Amino acid sequence: MKFTELTLKGAYLIEAETHSDVRGTFTRQFCKKEFLKNGIRFDICQCNISANDKKNTLRGLHFHKMPYEEAKVVSCFRGSCFDVIVDLRKNSPSYLSWESVELNDKNNKMLYIPSQFAHGFQTLEDNTIIYYQLNNYYKPEFYDGIRWDDPKIGIKWPNSNNLIINERDKSYKFL
């Protein structure tokens, strides 16, 4: 596994190594030793799958409030997505800055998202499946979000026309 720290300190792009032979491929999705070697303590508590039928489905920007904030490792098992993180650490020099990566079923890339970051994505293909590994349990009373189109953040989504967004995500407030 190759770890590359992103511009937003503490966030990493992780590239998994795939091994191929006559049977197909084998890819290690997670290795606690590799994470620790790169200074990341990540204990998996929960795993989630987000199945998205249509291109231009937008989910986010989501986060858990303190004291139940969560870190995530996100990957794409089918299709592709424009994956976005926003730094919500008030004392960080990159507070309210965002960064994006494309995750897809061919590039074997994963995104490590530290706690106190918001997360969202837009699907780039029909039938996109996103896989989340989380270091904390879901607590609905601490779950929150920020509007995907908040002008203070200014995310440049690949296509903001004909987006598929649920009512909860549309109802989040601007900062």
User: Is 137 labeled as catalytic in the residue annotation?
Assistant: no
Judge whether 127 and 43 are in contact, CB under 8 Å.
Answer: no
Instruction: Report which of 142, 154, 151, 147 is spatially closest to residue 171, judged by C-alpha positions.
Output: 147
Containing H/E element for 32?
helix 32-37
Q: Which of 62, 68, 131, 143 is catalytic?
A: 62
Cα 118 from Cα 102, distance rounded (Å): 17
User: Is 64 labeled as catalytic in the residue annotation?
Assistant: no
Cα 121 from Cα 62, distance rounded (Å): 10
Q: Which of 68, 112, 131, 132 is catalytic?
A: 132
Non-local CB neighbours of 32 within 8 Å, separated by 6+ positions:
42, 43
Judge whether 28 and 16 are in contact, CB under 8 Å.
Answer: yes
Which amino acid, 3?
F
3-state secondary structure of 167: helix
The residues that are catalytic are: 62, 132
